[in-house]
Amino acid sequence: MKKLATLFFVVYALSSCSIVPLTGRSQLAIFTTQDLMPLVKDEYKETLSSGKVLTSTKEGKQIVKVGNRMAEAVETYLTEQGYDSLVNELDWEFNLLEDEEVNAWCMPGGKVAFYTGILPYTKDETGIAVIMGHELAHAVANHAGERMSQEILFELGVGTIDLAMGQDPTLTQEILLLSVGIASDLKLLSFSRKHELEADRMGLIFMAMAGYDPREAPLFWGRMAEDEEDDGLTFLSTHPGHTKRMERLNSLLPEAIEIYEQRKGSN
């Protein structure tokens, strides 16, 4: 079975590569955003129904405000770059859930959730934009589709969502949740770290495009680092260590600041 799955992987790797907008990275993604949306809509609805949604509160409305502002800027950029088909696949939705976990995530197509546990660190709209840009980047880059493509090809040896759901719907659903960071699994970490770093760069650019100062990003992670000791176990984390993340973000700031200043000058 594993040999067959490997053969599937090689075949699809040769025929299903796409390019990530902005970074230009070539990725294996046999599952497009459109392919995943029926499953995503069900899982997102289930997640909202199983928790307490606070989107109608002051904090929740702020999440929606920042999300919509950034989504508009991102779609404008994608359209200008000729990614009209990707824009048509995106179906943004932003919600705030009551949960002490310091987390936020984005399912394919732009189904975003912030947990209340992260709000003490975001502080204001610009802080929210740091995380929002990162999460929108996951959707634009189809990171979940890329992770699912690799996992399902190796685990089930199939190349469509319908076949995966027919063969093992529970595993397919679990892989989707793992792929967007709602759960953790060491098998996905080698992909996750690459995606997190790519989303950091794209997120900086996206917040700058929307008129949010990207210099807030290292400051946000500095606040996170103050409360969470950097234990050096970056290898065992789906996110880079806070200190290393801040260093890399600082190195990426010049590109983002230039875009931010240009946008301010044009207003």
- What is the pTM (predicted TM-score) of this model? 0.82
Residues 44 and 177: their CA atoms lie apart, in Å, by 10
Total domains, the chain: 1
Residues 143 and 266: their CA atoms lie apart, in Å, by 32
3-state secondary structure of 165: helix
* CB of 220 closer than 8 Å to CB of 122: yes
For residue 23, the tally of other CB atoms under 10 A from its CB is: 16
* CB of 216 closer than 8 Å to CB of 129: yes
Q: 45-89: per-residue pLDDT in tens?
A: 999 999 999 999 999 999 999 999 999 999 999 999 999 999 999
pLDDT higher than threshold 50 for residue 150: yes
* CB of 30 closer than 8 Å to CB of 153: yes
104-107 and 111-115 strand pairing: antiparallel
CATH number of the domain encompassing residue 147 = 3.40.390
State in Å, rounded, how far the first CA of the chain is from the last one.
Answer: 58
Average pLDDT over residues 119-133: 96
Q: 225-237: per-residue pLDDT in tens?
A: 777 654 443 333 5
Domain that holds residue 131: 2-266
> What is the H or E stretch that residue 266 is in?
helix 242-266
